[in-house]
Amino acid sequence: MATSLKNLSDYDIQSVANAKDMKFGIVVAEWNTEITEALYQGAYDTLIKHGALEENILKKYVPGTFELTLGAQLVAEKTDVDAIMVLGCVIQGETRHFDFICHGVTQGITDLNLNYNKPFIVGVLTTDNQQQALDRAGGKHGNKGDEAAFTAIKMVNLSRSLD
C-alpha cells in the first residue's frame, strides 16, 4: 500500500529467504522509462541483497505496460525462472485509457498466476501524476520495485515449502 502510512521499501528483512538458488525474470515497460528503470533498480538491488546471483536475474523489455502480460507469459514459457516480476507505470491522463490499461494488466497477470502455477508479481505504479510515480520509484514512499522483489522471493519460498 503506497500511502503516507507505509513505505514500499520497508519490510522485515528476516522474513525473506535467501534467494541464492532462485531464478527471476523481470519484464520492464519502456514507457515512462525514468520511472520503470528506477523500479527495476530497486528490484534488482533487493534481489542481490537477498543473495540472488546476477546471472539468475533475467531482464526483458516490452514497449509499454499493456504488453507486460504477454512479455511475462513469454518469459514463463521460454525460460526456467522461478518467478516473474512485471514493472510498469501508468499515469492518469484526460481519457479512460488509464482504466483500460490498468484493468487489462491486472487481470492478465492474475490469469498468468493461476494458469502457470508460478508467481507473477505486479510492480506497476498507477498514479495521478508524475510526482506520485517518482515518490514510489525510490522517492519518499520507497520503491515498488523493492516490494516486487521481496514478494517474488517470498512466493518462490512458499511454493518450495509446499513441495
Q: Coil, helix or strand for 160? A: helix
Q: Residue 50: what residue type? A: H
C-alpha cell at 39: 523500479
Catalytic residue among 50, 97, 103, 141: 97
The string of DSSP letters for 138-149 reads: EETTEEHHHHHH
Q: Is 97 a catalytic residue?
A: yes
Reported residue count of the chain is 163
Q: Coil, helix or strand for 15? A: helix
Residues acting as catalytic residues: 97
